[in-house]
Amino acid sequence: MLKHRGFPSRLPSSDFQFTIRRANPKGVTPIVARERYADRRPADRRADLGFMAALWECFGTESFERGNLDAGRISWLFGREVIPAEADFDNQSYDALLKIDVGRAMASFPDVFSDESA
């Protein structure tokens, strides 16, 4: 399992984790698309924003390996702002490649990309 050095482990001043410490010995947690409803708590929205900002800062438009990124946190963005980067995507692999769908990410999280347009 690739460990993304320099990637924040959690949202500052919260318990929302962005990375895991070690591989799960019982099996890899699958990445699944989770529905984000309009009535989500503000803290959950901040966690999504912080995670997207960290992804953008670390990877930009490049594909990236899932590695030690938290499957639960990825799942909130998966299928929309974060998409598979390969045709034979395995949602239960630490080696799976992902990428940011920049257009959808800009629409969903304009604050993350506001500096890019200036």
pLDDT in tens, 44-76: 999 999 999 999 999 999 999 998 999 999 999
Partnered with residue 65 across adjacent β-strands are: 97
User: Which residue is listed with tokens 């591989």?
Assistant: 23
Residue 37 CB burial class (10 angstroms; 0-12, 13-18, ≥19): exposed
Determine the pLDDT at residue 55: 94
Shortest CA distance to 61 belongs to which of 99, 96, 116, 98? 99
Determine the pLDDT at residue 10: 84
| pLDDT band per the 50, 70, 90 thresholds, residue 117 | very low
Q: How far apart are CA 7 and CA 67, in angstroms?
A: 11
Shortest CA distance to 99 belongs to which of 109, 78, 77, 84? 84
Q: What's the pTM value of the predicted model, to 2 decimals?
A: 0.87
